[in-house]
């Protein structure tokens, strides 16, 4: 049994990782999360009663609280997912992204280094600091066949991706300069259950069910590689527990899709699952509305995930078709989770789980 800290564990990907660890392993987990707007403890309801689950509300920029939590819990692994992650929000307010993604990562690295140096040699060898990042640090691809590899030069386009690129560089520097045992993963776009409704897939599902417009940026031809979040959680645990120190892995879903095609797939699935539409809607696809493209919008992301398969044997289990069917059905069947976000009650119900 290992003890694992997951920062950002109440977020979309972080909560999937925590659910996987509690349900599929014997490991003990401490979630550290500031609980910003995207931190939703209801995403952890199904594992929160486990005696192997613990939670502390901490801002990763708060080094004193971080140090206390790390020293008390004595982790074997720290999985760092805490980050501001929405590109549109980074354009509106870049400073928050610099503070959390850069300064916060620096703070966590420093306190992890102090902790690691105090461990005996055997525990030092077993310790891992796993930094979870994004393929957006690479910029975008202009060809139709090119793929991001682990050696693709960084060329971030937005304040969000620039802040994540910065945090990646910090992690590599702490490994090279201070010998902190680190691993890094860069993932493609995630989708699946418990995704915050401002993101494209849940936004389109929920808007369509309410008969609201489905806003598509520009011409909708932007291409993304989509990764089912539960496949990603399995990959992250595998890297955290099995990867060699200093390695970097790209994690992708092998599912390139144009944004407009994703929206059309959602509409088609809703026609099947929810044929009784809101008043005035004949077909869900009629709700598609093209809006002004956002500044610096990357046109194509696509990941070469062959290294993680060759080294660790991981590959995604879900196709885009199977994953999307599960995702759309989850949002249809979990309207209360969505309603609690819309009315703000998810933020008011936190006290029951905080310990």
Q: Give the count of alpha carbons within 13 A of 189, CB side only.
A: 23
Respond yes or no: is residue 26 known to be catalytic. no
State the alpha helices, DSSP H only, in the chain: 12-24, 63-73, 87-92, 94-97, 105-118, 121-126, 159-178, 200-209, 229-242, 259-273, 306-312, 320-333, 335-342, 345-348
How far apart, in whole angstroms, are the C-alpha atoms of residue 38 and residue 197?
Answer: 9
How far apart, in whole angstroms, are the C-alpha atoms of residue 24 and residue 21?
Answer: 5
Which tokens sit at 149? 């590899």
User: Coil, strand, or helix at residue 29?
Assistant: strand
Catalytic position from the list 28, 33, 42, 136: 136
Q: Which residues contact 196 (CB under 8 A, 6 or more apart)?
A: 11, 12, 37, 38, 40, 202, 341
How far apart, in whole angstroms, are the C-alpha atoms of residue 59 and residue 277?
Answer: 43
Are 181 and 119 spatial neighbours (Cβ–Cβ below 8 Å)?
no
Catalytic position from the list 20, 138, 160, 191: 160
How far apart, in whole angstroms, are the C-alpha atoms of residue 202 and residue 199?
Answer: 6
Catalytic position from the list 84, 135, 140, 168: 135
Respond yes or no: is residue 135 known to be catalytic. yes
Respond yes or no: is residue 298 known to be catalytic. no
- Known catalytic residues are 135-136, 160
């Amino acid at each position: 049994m290992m003890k694992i800290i997951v920062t950002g564990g109440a977020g979309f990907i972080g909560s999937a990782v925590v659910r996987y660890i509690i349900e599929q392993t014997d490991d003990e987990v401490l979630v550290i999360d500031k609980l910003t707007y995207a931190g939703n403890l209801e995403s952890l309801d199904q594992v929160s009663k486990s005696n192997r689950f613990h939670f502390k509300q901490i801002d990763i920029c708060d080094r004193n609280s971080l140090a206390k939590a790390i020293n008390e819990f004595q982790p074997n692994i720290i999985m760092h997912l805490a980050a501001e992650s929405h590109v549109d929000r980074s354009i509106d307010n870049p400073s928050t992204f610099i503070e959390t993604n850069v300064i916060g990562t620096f703070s966590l690295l420093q306190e992890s280094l102090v902790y690691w140096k105090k461990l005996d040699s055997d525990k030092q060898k077993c310790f891992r600091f796993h930094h979870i990042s994004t393929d957006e640090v690479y910029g975008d691809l202009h060809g139709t066949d090119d793929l991001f590899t682990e050696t693709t030069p960084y060329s971030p386009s937005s304040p969000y991706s620039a802040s994540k690129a910065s945090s990646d560089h910090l992690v590599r520097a702490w490994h090279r300069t201070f010998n902190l045992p680190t691993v890094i993963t860069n993932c493609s776009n995630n989708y699946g259950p418990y995704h915050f409704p401002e993101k494209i897939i849940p936004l389109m599902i929920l808007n369509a069910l309410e008969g609201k417009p489905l806003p598509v940026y520009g011409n909708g031809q932007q291409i993304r590689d989509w990764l089912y979040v539960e496949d990603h959680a399995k990959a992250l645990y595998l890297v955290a527990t099995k990867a060699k120190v200093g390695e970097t892995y790209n994690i992708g879903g092998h599912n390139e899709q144009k944004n407009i095609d994703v929206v059309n797939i959602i509409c088609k699935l809703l026609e099947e699952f929810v044929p009784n539409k809101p008043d005035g809607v004949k077909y869900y696809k009629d709700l598609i509305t093209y809006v002004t493209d956002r500044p610096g919008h990357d046109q194509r992301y696509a990941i070469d995930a062959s290294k993680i398969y060759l080294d660790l044997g991981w590959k995604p289990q879900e196709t885009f078709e199977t994953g999307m069917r599960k995702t759309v059905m989850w949002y249809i069947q979990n309207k209360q989770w969505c309603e609690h976000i819309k009315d703000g009650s998810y933020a008011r119900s936190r006290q029951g789980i905080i310990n």
